[in-house]
Amino acid sequence: MPIWSMRLEAGGAMLMTDDSAPFREGFDQMLATAAEPVWLTFRRRAEMDRFALLGFPTRRQEAWRFTDLEPLTAAAPLPMAAPLPMAMADDLPSPASLALWLLPVTTHRLVLANGHVVPSLSAGPPLPDGVWLASVAETLRRRPDLLEGAFGDEDGALAALNAALFTDGVVLALEPGVTLETPVEVIHHTTAAGAHARLHIALGAGSRATVVETAIGPVGDGAAAGPVTSWGNTVGVVTLGADAVLTHLHIQAEGPAACHTAAVRAVLADRARYDACAVITGARLSRRDMAVVLAGDEAEFRLYGAYLLDGGQEATLSVRADHLGLGCRTDEVVKGVLAGASHGVFLGTLAVAPGADGADARQVNRNLLLSPTARVDTKPELEILADDVKCAHGATVGSLDEAALFYLQARGIDPETARRMLVEAFAAEVLDAAGLPTALAELAHRHLWRWLDGRDS
Amino acid sequence: MSKLLEIRGLRARIAGGREVLKGIDLDVSPGEVHAIMGPNGAGKSTLSSVLAGKPGYEVTEGTVRYLGHDLLTMPADERAREGVFLAFQYPVEIPGVNNMYFLRAALNAGRRQRGQAELDAQQFLKSVRERLKLLDIGDDLLRRAVNVGFSGGEKKRNEIFQMAMLEPRLAILDETDSGLDIDALRAVSDGVNRLRDPARAIVMITHYQRLLDYIVPDRVHVLADGRIVASGDKTFAAELERTGYAHLVDAA
Ligand SMILES: Nc1ncnc2c1ncn2[C@@H]1O[C@H](COP(=O)(O)OP(=O)(O)OP(=O)(O)O)[C@@H](O)[C@H]1O
Ligand SMILES: [Mg+2]
């Protein structure tokens, strides 16, 4: 029995709606056939009910004020009914398209097609002792203990829907004191209208790992304006023990008919460090929600990122950092490059809990508008409830420096190249500042160059 | 001997604003060095900007021919590739764009235009080293972003270094001597003198006679209130030093 939500429509009439309805049949079928632990079935039901209650987020909600899910929810008929039980041959990325996105070094690679790990495309050297890296499906079979505690109440409707419908995903768990030198490479290839995958990362005390998550899909013909035909909806759960260090690069490069939604929540123990970097250029519509809790003393969170958009693209990066421990540090630098009629949204909240003294938090969002029809909404916020804190935040929106453009041209560089040089410099700065390991930095820059090459306007 | 630069009755204004150049006539032949002096605000930098093709100015009358071509219809980048070089009075800082990367892009753009092969990294570096030595510039400046955090004098030296690399046909130096210490002035002057060549012309805008002791001009002009009000040979600068501009401005 679903829980019905009431929604006030513009005309004032009350309509009974339940956004979960299109998913119910497939959901019931999935539960009937899946051989899963009982706790998980309960979890799925609870999350589906939560989604039914919340419905798809709308712009009437403050956190979604600037993000319009319309291109996704208007896709009629809602094509995302039942997640398929496995990946089909048609869902797989071609070797050529996959090759574009691979790290130039040996990795532990897991490729997901529409939310399922594809063993034939996944590979890597033997895992060192103390490292568990496997699909969610396999983990549920062999080490369900690694996941049971990792499911909690999901934040928000889309994460709830993910927890109800997820088909597979990746689990990386490191025992204390283990360093995984070889990067873990997770590639999400999405062609279906509804691929729900999970990424669980748990690093024990003092352990270290590097994870690259790349979202790709059919490239299409470039113009981001038409209806959304694919939707990937992922949830990441990051747990860092004391002194653990996670480097997490996220590359988002789906084609112009894609919708991409992702929620990442992280909890950091004493002196844990979470180094995140996000480079977002893909999808017609995307949203990445990060919620980082610096629970231990002297925990550190860094996010360096860029969204580069063109045509009719819209991307939202929403980041909340909660400082609970003593002497925690957050450093966020997010840059936006907006061309065409694109729309970028940055929502950043730095929260410092009562007593969380010594917090040092900085949040910067800088945007470059390349066309008069491009837009940006930026909302950096502070919620400071402790006394002894250092917090800085700021946002800027500007256009290319005319004086610099002329200077380059006065040396013989054509206007197109000059513009490209300045845009590249603007975006590359934040990627360099991220201090990524060489191979990851190379991938991030390659992604930036591909974006610059792709828009010869 | 055909002219390198031929300016006739040039009038220009700030886009949507007032007229700054009020009828400039100037001929520059290959091999010549011209100095332009004159009061602050007279229009010297505006003239150099109009010649370099900086946006924001409107030419309302007159013509500029460069090597026989109509310069004013050429876009700024094409003028540069055709050999017009402006050393900026205020060089622009460009964060994130590496000086070497920028210079190599500029150099190769010019070479492509002239149908020459692009320089590879090694050839480029060799050329850079030679010129750095001449201008007494440390190579750390090259590893940094274009002009970012450069001192005033370093920026000016960097302009001349770029000129030495790009080897223009017509170099316009806008107050390149301002802000240089004595040694830098000598190094920069040496650099410019080395570039003197029968095929090349230099137009220097300056307020100081001292520069003209180092780089001896063929002609000296006074630009006041948007016009060239007086011209003379190299001795004229010394005379101006004594008399000032007032009598010329009043007469004009
Ligand atoms: N972009 C601009 N917008 C408004 N006014 C301008 C602009 N460029 C030049 N001017 C004005 O035009 C006049 C001439 O300026 P210009 O810079 O050409 O003088 P100058 O002869 O180079 O002076 P200086 O010796 O001080 O460098 C000045 O009054 C200046 O304020
Ligand atoms: Mg001037």
CB within 8 Å: A422 and B81? no
**DSSP run (H or E) holding B106:** helix B99-113
B38: left (phi over 0), alpha (psi -120 to 50) or beta: left
Tokens of B202: 């230099």
Sheet holding A343-352, edge to edge: A131-135, A168-174, A193-203, A230-240, A258-268, A285-294, A314-323, A343-352, A375-384
Distances (CA, A) of B7 to A233, A328, B21, B67: 65, 66, 12, 12
Tokens of A314: 């819209």
Predicted pLDDT of residue A456: 47
What is the SS3 assignment for A450? helix
Ligand 2: distance of its center to the CA of B86 in Å?
A: 12
Q: A228 falls in which pLDDT band (50, 70, 90)?
A: confident
- Token pair 């605000």 is found at B41
CB within 8 Å: A407 and B88? yes
Q: Which numbered ligand comes closest to the C-alpha of B42?
A: 1
CB within 8 Å: B76 and A422? no
Q: How far is CA B89 from the centre of its chain?
A: 9
A24 vs A142: which has the higher pLDDT: A142
Percent of chain A with pLDDT over 90: 77
Q: A85 falls in which pLDDT band (50, 70, 90)?
A: low
Tell me the mean pLDDT in the region A362-380. 96
Residues with C-beta atoms within 5 A of ion ligand 2:
B 44-45, 89
Q: Residue B77 is nearest to which of A401, A409, A422, comparing CB atoms?
A: A409
Q: Is the pLDDT of residue A254 over 80?
A: yes
Q: Is the pLDDT of residue A221 over 60?
A: no
- Token pair 């910067």 is found at A364
Contact B169, B124 (CB under 8 A): no
- Number of H helices and number of E strands within chain B? 10, 12
> Using N-to-C axis directions, what is the helix angle for B182-195 and B121-135, rounded to 10°?
130
Q: Whose CA is closest to atom 26 on ligand 1?
A: B40
pLDDT tens digits for range A315-330: 999 999 999 999 999 9
B145: domain range?
Answer: 5-251
Q: Residue A411 is nearest to which of B93, B96, B162, comparing CB atoms?
A: B162
Alpha carbon of A370: minimum distance to chain B alpha carbons (Å):
17
Q: Give the chain A residue whose CA is nearest to the CA of B80.
A: A412
Q: Is the pLDDT of residue A400 over 70?
A: yes
Contact A411, B161 (CB under 8 A): no
Residues of chain B positioned with their CB less than 8 A from the CB of A417: 105, 109
Tell me the mean pLDDT in the region A444-449. 94
Q: What is the dihedral of CA A163, A165, A170, A171, to 10 degrees?
A: 40
Q: Is the pLDDT of residue A87 over 70?
A: no
Residue B233's CB is within 10 A of a number of other CB atoms, namely 10
Q: A88 falls in which pLDDT band (50, 70, 90)?
A: confident
Q: Whose CA is closest to atom 28 on ligand 1?
A: B41
Looking at the whole model, is its pTM more than 0.95? Answer: no
Q: Is the pLDDT of residue A224 over 90?
A: no
Tell me the mean pLDDT in the region A235-241. 98
Contact A441, A432 (CB under 8 A): yes
The tally of domains found in chain B comes to 1
Q: Which residues contact A170 (CB under 8 A, 6 or more apart)?
A: A110, A112, A117, A133, A134, A135, A136, A184, A186, A197, A198, A199, A200
Domain CATH for B43? 3.40.50.300
Query: Which is nearest to A250 in space by CA: A78, A440, A7?
Result: A440
User: CB contact, 8 Å: B216 with chain A?
Assistant: no
B229 HSE (CA, 13 A, CB side): 22
CB within 8 Å: B94 and A407? yes
Ligand 1: distance of its center to the CA of B26 in Å?
A: 19
Q: Residue B109 is which amino acid?
A: A
Contact A289, A276 (CB under 8 A): no
Across A137-151, A269-283, A393-407, B130-144, least confident range: B130-144
Query: Which among A407, A417, A430, A432 is the top mutation candidate for probing chain B, defined by the most B β-carbons within 10 Å of its own β-carbon?
Result: A407
Q: Which numbered ligand comes closest to the C-alpha of B54?
A: 1
Given ligand 1 and candidates B11, B44, B51, B173, which is best to mutate, with the most ligand atoms within 8 Å of its CB? B44
Ligand 2: distance of its center to the CA of A405 in Å?
A: 20
| CA dihedral sign, ordered A22, A23, A26, A31 | negative
Predicted pLDDT of residue B176: 92
Alpha carbon of A141: minimum distance to chain B alpha carbons (Å):
50
Q: Whose CA is closest to atom 22 on ligand 1?
A: B45
Alpha carbon of B213: minimum distance to chain A alpha carbons (Å):
28
Percent of chain A with pLDDT over 70: 91
**Inter-chain CB pairs, A–B, below 8 Å:** 79
Q: A429 falls in which pLDDT band (50, 70, 90)?
A: very high
Alpha carbon of B88: minimum distance to chain A alpha carbons (Å):
9
Q: Residue B100 is which amino acid?
A: M
Q: Is the pLDDT of residue A364 over 50?
A: yes
Q: Which numbered ligand comes closest to the C-alpha of B39?
A: 1
Q: Is the pLDDT of residue A345 over 60?
A: yes
A40 HSE (CA, 13 A, CB side): 24
CB within 8 Å: B110 and A406? no
CB within 8 Å: A421 and B105? yes
Tell me the mean pLDDT in the region A100-111. 95
Note the ipTM here.
0.96
- pLDDT less than 70: residues of chain B: 1, 250-252
What ranges make up the beta strands (E) of B88-208? 94-98, 145-146, 170-174, 201-205
CB within 8 Å: A425 and B95? yes
Task: State the closest ligand 1 atom to the C-alpha of B43, by its place in the atom list counted from 1.
Answer: 18
Pocket lining for ligand 1, CB < 6 angstroms? B 14, 17, 20, 40-46, 56, 89
Contact A251, A276 (CB under 8 A): no
CB within 8 Å: B106 and A413? yes
Query: In angstroms, rounded to a whole number, what is the distance separating the alpha carbons of residues A248 and A278?
Result: 8
Tokens of A361: 């938090």
Q: What is the dihedral of CA A185, A190, A195, A198, to 10 degrees?
A: 10
| CA dihedral sign, ordered B2, B8, B13, B15 | negative
Q: Which numbered ligand comes closest to the C-alpha of B223?
A: 1
Ligand 1: distance of its center to the CA of B118 in Å?
A: 38
